[in-house]
Amino acid sequence: MIRTASLASLLALLPAAAAAQEPSDVQMAAKSAEAERAAMAEEMRVGPIVGQPAPAVSVIGPEGAVSFTDLAGEKGTVVAFFRSADWCPYCKKQLIDLKEAAAPLGEEGWTLIGVSYDSPEILADFKSAKALPYGLYSDTGSAAIDAFDLRNPDVPAGSRYDGIPHPAIIFIAADGTVKAVMREEGYKDRSAIDAVLELAAAL
């Protein structure tokens, strides 16, 4: 049997239909809260965005000024941003621990390097003293650190520590794309070498 609706009954349904299409106060509040959370997350974000092109910056090594893509292996460059090879004991330990990662990363097609705001001379002395099998590159002035959104803003401006990064390991593909970012919350903590190698193999 075919049912037909009267004009009056159709008109009666219009307000309800319109109301159903309009977002409720609860929905609008939820969307507003979500937007606020996204804004806060962006403000608190440390490091580059995965999937985006890495900043085009140069650092100083024995060969002069180079970009991260200049140093890339077949897959790319693994850049360990650290605070200092001069005064930071946690960084010194990390740099020594990374000796074990250099060869396996190379076999996977990745070039490992370290970057800090230390002078080229300080980095060259540390590399030589510890027989590091990978390069250390100077970002005096912290231009690369700033470009990668890694500067630690909690140190006094103009102090000895001004310009240090939040420690991070950035995987940059040979085409310049940021493939992964590894960070720990505490400045004393560093990503485990096994975790670095596992991620490199998966990318």
The tens digit of pLDDT for each residue in 105-123 reads 999 999 999 999 999 999 9
Pairing of strands 58-61, 76-81: unpaired
Q: Describe the crossing of helices 89-97 and 120-130 by its angle, rounded to 10 degrees.
A: 50
Give the pLDDT confidence score for residue 40 in this predicted structure.
Answer: 34
Which has the minimum average pLDDT: 28-32, 58-62, 67-71, 76-80?
28-32
Single pTM value for the model: 0.78
Task: Write the single-letter amino acid at 175.
Answer: D
Over residues 43-63, mean pLDDT: 89
Strand, coil or helix: 102: helix
Output the pLDDT for position 41: 36
pLDDT above 90 for 201: yes
Task: In whole angstroms, give the CA distance from residue 180 to residue 142.
Answer: 21
| DSSP designation for 134 | S
pLDDT in tens, 65-78: 999 999 999 999 99
- Greatest mean pLDDT among 25-29, 40-44, 138-142: 138-142
Helix ranges (H only) for the chain are 7-21, 25-44, 89-97, 99-107, 120-130, 143-147, 193-202
Share of the chain above pLDDT 70, in %: 78
Whole-number pLDDT of residue 52: 98
Which of 6-10, 41-45, 136-140: highest mean pLDDT? 136-140
